[in-house]
Amino acid sequence: QVLLVGSGGGSVQPGGSLRLSCTKSDHGDSSPYMGWFRQAPGKEREAVAGFYTSGGSIYYHNSVKGRFTISRGDGHNTVYLQMNNLKPEDTAMYYCSAAKYSGDFLAEAGYWGQGTQVTVSS
């Protein structure tokens, strides 16, 4: 059983910053690839960022490169998404996800946390 709890959403003005957090309970360490998806109203869900918490290459959606940074806490069960220079088009429900492999993650075949809303508007 893998449980993900995400938090940290909110409302900010364009150019502002937010940090999302996701804590995973995974006794068998069966989901070492963690990251975030988002879904805006009327749009398909898309992967925003992801990585193996043990290290390695990091995936970023092209639209967030240079603005968002994914990182992990001291352990391997908490990840953060630092979002800077937020734009109105970043407005969406953000979901934490974890999977065994990056392919499973990108195929949306992993585990999911509850969403946290991010709203960027002036």
pLDDT in tens, 87-107: 999 999 999 999 999 999 999
Q: How confident is the model at residue 31 (pLDDT cuts 50, 70, 90)?
A: very high
Q: Six-digit token pair at 69?
A: 């940074």
C-alpha span between 76 and 55 (Å, rounded): 10
Higher pLDDT, 33 or 30: 33
Structural contact between residues 35 and 49, judged by C-beta atoms closer than 8 angstroms: yes
Residue 49 phi, psi (nearest 5): -160, 150
Confidence of residue 121 (pLDDT cuts 50, 70, 90): very high
Evaluate whether 4 touches 22 at the Cβ level (below 8 Å): yes
Q: What is the pLDDT of residues 72-88, one digit of tens each?
A: 998 889 999 999 999 99
**Which residue is it, tokens 């898309």?**
46
Given its phi and psi angles, is residue 42 left (phi above 0), alpha (psi -120 to 50 degrees) or beta? left
Average pLDDT over residues 31-40: 96
